[in-house]
Structure 1
């Protein structure tokens, strides 16, 4: 009997030890599962014209004050939280929907509204550069304006920056490759011409001329058209000129951007034709040969420097050669 009881005791002890071991293993496994580290958010250091900014990759709430950047974000399928909804380019009019917060205008941001959104990233350009400090006090802010003196380089840098931030590097590179291929073709055709071009901005009956390295100088610097006047003053607002000046330069191509179509009337309809095609301008080779080209101000004035806008700019100018 004693031997039997002893044997039973040994069996019970072994069962207790086994159970404790199982509990310990389970506790260890559970403890290990609880302590498993979560994936950390990758932080990027973005260098831009106004400084360096620490940005978390794939930010969720993005406020955009540059329509060129909005264009690129849209092309890459990246959602935004808010934009200034005044004078939005027609091809980006979906962003006027109430699902996107309205944060004022390009020159007068609604900082109170931006604060309410609590954005993870703010993108600005030239029109907001003087307010950079105010933006940085709300959220990480980067400047993605285009440097017209090095248009394609800065455009590509901006697109690649967006690609890096939102993990869309491959898609961004593919888009840039396609655009550069089209530009190479256009440049080959335009640079071989004997004809010369003049670029003007029409605004409420007045005209300003733009030459190489200017706001619209991409036509000369990148697309390859020789300037009718290489000495045009380089400035944001262009060099104020008369219609006598246009006749004197006698361009073979006259490229016209109508500011009033998107700022004054806001309907995208060109009102510049009646002003531009007066008796003086009718004496130019551009008029006589049907080479006065009215460029879409949405692409050229409002949202230059975007994947869509630059692609369309190439197509518009190439169309003038046909």
Structure 2
């Protein structure tokens, strides 16, 4: 996808959240060998704090650094947002959890891409048989690091800190790995401009409420307020795109705080931002969010009367929520209220 900024950047540049250093070393050829025949083994160093605690233990972090080869031939990716960015920067992915790759990103897979497992479990034998040069994990797959790093250099590009800082960090890093530094820098500038444009639109849109619809029920989403990655996902509409929450005391939770239809009418947001979780996860026989919200109570709200119930792309906002193309999809979703 080609990203086109539509107005000057309004927000301050995103701060780079992690140091990414490009390290190159040339190996001299034999005596008399032309300089053009010399080989260059370059690597990119990526560092992060890795949680080494057990599943039921309090987090304990260890500084971890991995050296990644530049221009890797075979890449395996478990983090779908990273698959997005790798593809958008001109690379392709040899292995991934194929059942979890959304249709709009399938073009970034190699023609003979293999199934590397699921978002939570790796097929170690299959992966090792393809001898990858780089493995990328993140979020749901972060716990796979030790096993995968024994096969090939493995980096964890999980959301850490702020969404925008992580987006810039990961885009910059992957641009250096792929030899696409200029493309990565341009993508960051264009996404910043798009987000700033979306923030300008939401600033004029009045109050808002993000809701997740799942199992025929509503869950109100809250600003992340510095919480973990899953809470950040729910808070993106506020924290990144500047929506003013209609109510401040919603409890942050992985899938939001359960609320009633009467809650919507009581607080009456100007815009209702909807994520259909069941559509994102492919839940069988699930009632679509639009049907769940099609009732007499919701029809009394300002958002309904003004035709400002916005159905956000469920895969982009719930499954991927990162990467170059996906972030542009999210920008487009928010800008839809200005049409």
What is the aligned partner in structure 2 of residue 209 from structure 1? 220
Provide structure 2 residue ranges, at least 5 long, that are not aligned to the other structure. 1-29, 51-63, 225-231
Distance 1:96 1:56 in 2: 20
The 1:309–1:137 alpha-carbon spacing in structure 2 relative to 1, beyond 3 Å, is same
Structure with more helix by fraction: 1
Q: Report the alpha carbon displacement of residue 96 of structure 1 after superposing the two structures with TM.
A: 6.9
What is the aligned partner in structure 2 of residue 32 from structure 1? 32
The answer (yes or no) to whether the contact 2:272–2:310 under 8 Å persists in 1 is: yes
Matched, 1:45 2:45: yes
Mean CA deviation greater in 207-216 or 112-121: 207-216
Distance 2:182 2:35 in 1: 35
Distance 2:78 2:122 in 1: 9
Distance 1:62 1:204 in 2: 36
What is the aligned partner in structure 2 of residue 281 from structure 1? 298
Q: Report the alpha carbon displacement of residue 222 of structure 1 after superposing the two structures with TM.
A: 2.3
Structure with more strand by fraction: 2
What is the aligned partner in structure 1 of residue 316 from structure 2? 299
Distance 1:309 1:266 in 2: 25
Q: Report the alpha carbon displacement of residue 47 of structure 1 after superposing the two structures with TM.
A: 1.4
Distance 1:135 1:206 in 2: 38
Q: Normalised by the size of structure 1, how large is the TM-score?
A: 0.83
Which of 197, 201, 209 is equivalent to 1:198? 209
The answer (yes or no) to whether the contact 1:90–1:298 under 8 Å persists in 2 is: no
Distance 1:75 1:96 in 2: 11
What is the aligned partner in structure 2 of residue 163 from structure 1? 175
Secondary structure of residue in 2 paired with 1:100: strand
What is the aligned partner in structure 2 of residue 312 from structure 1? 329
What is the aligned partner in structure 2 of residue 153 from structure 1? 165
What is the aligned partner in structure 1 of residue 241 from structure 2? 223
Which of 178, 197, 217 is equivalent to 1:185? 197
Q: Report the alpha carbon displacement of residue 200 of structure 1 after superposing the two structures with TM.
A: 1.2
Q: Report the alpha carbon displacement of residue 36 of structure 1 after superposing the two structures with TM.
A: 9.2
Deviations 1:87-111 (CA, angstroms, capped at 9, x unpaired): 3212123367761011121122212
Which of 54, 77, 97 is equivalent to 2:67? 54
Deviations 1:249-296 (CA, angstroms, capped at 9, x unpaired): 2111111111211323589x9811111222222222111211111111
Which of 277, 281, 285 is equivalent to 1:263? 281
Greater Rg by CA:
1
Q: Report the alpha carbon displacement of residue 69 of structure 1 after superposing the two structures with TM.
A: 0.9
Secondary structure of residue in 1 paired with 2:155: strand
Provide structure 1 residue ranges, at least 5 long, that are not aligned to the other structure. 1-29
The answer (yes or no) to whether the contact 2:234–2:256 under 8 Å persists in 1 is: no
